[in-house]
Amino acid sequence: MSQVILTESQGRVGLIRIHRPEAMNALNDAVMDGLSAALDQFEANPDIACVVLTGIEKAFAAGADIAAMRNLDFAQAYSSDFISRNWERLLTFRKPVIAAVSGYALGGGCELAMMCDMVFAAENARFGQPEIKIGTLPGAGGTQRLPRAVGKALAMDLCMTGRFMDAQEALRAGLVSRVLPADKLLEEALAVAQAISNQSLPALMMLKESVNRAYESPLSEGLKFERRMLHASFSLQDQKEGMNAFVEKRTPNFTHK
């Protein structure tokens, strides 16, 4: 595993840290390849049910590495499928992922947070899509996921001005679900991840797939998909265990089957 990505397991939770402090965690090939490898490892491990993705105190990630990409020309960017090839892994990761954001989440860093299932922000978090200030535009979903998360007006405001949004504004806008003191961020994210990881893993995965359908299909198709997933969940041993435990007034013992 590359040193810019640090991983550890705590119970059924996998923790991934982006660690490139000299460049505000700017995202280069080493970071994205390392992140993909870490996700592969946690996806393949049946004892991991939830992942927390975090950075350093000053930055979740201040965007794609500007120094590394500034001299690219169109032909190189297009033919090498610049960035796309190692930026998609989070999107195919099937277990729940919490982004724990402290400091800057800018450009590709904000886009990376938005690829996670939920975002917790420290009080010092700053979100933005400042690509316009360096003569370009968001390229990893900022123009698509940001309007879905916060609405068109605020997305245009952030993308066109390049201004940063603080944690409270991000909470009001719906980009993040919790704001925490910086020194409690990771503790809380890990505690929530532990609680989630005690639920039935296949049911969590079906739930994640169903919520993501809300972004990919019209309401009627999403509702149909959700209904079929619900029917399928009745084939899980965990569904029987969960409902029996409720009726018998005891804590369920999920086996993730």
Binding site for ligand DAK (CB under 6 A): 23-24, 26, 62-67, 82-84, 87, 104, 106-108, 130-131, 134, 139-140
Spatial separation of the C-alpha atoms in residues 190 and 211, rounded to whole Å: 22
Closest to ligand DAK by CB, 86 or 197 = 86
104: nearest Cα among 49, 155, 59, 152: 59
Spatial separation of the C-alpha atoms in residues 145 and 34, rounded to whole Å: 24
Any idea which residues carry the catalytic annotation? 64, 108, 111, 131
Closest to ligand DAK by CB, 32 or 48 = 32
The H or E element spanning position 54 is strand 50-54
Shortest Å, Cβ 115 to ligand DAK: 11
Shortest Å, Cβ 137 to ligand DAK: 9
Name beta bridge partners: 90: none
Spatial separation of the C-alpha atoms in residues 175 and 127, rounded to whole Å: 9
| C-beta nearest to ligand DAK: residue | 107
Closest to ligand DAK by CB, 78 or 246 = 78
Shortest Å, Cβ 84 to ligand DAK: 5
Burial class (CB in 10 A: 0-12, 13-18, 19+), 227: exposed
Assign 7 to helix, strand or coil. strand
Shortest Å, Cβ 83 to ligand DAK: 3
Closest to ligand DAK by CB, 93 or 254 = 93
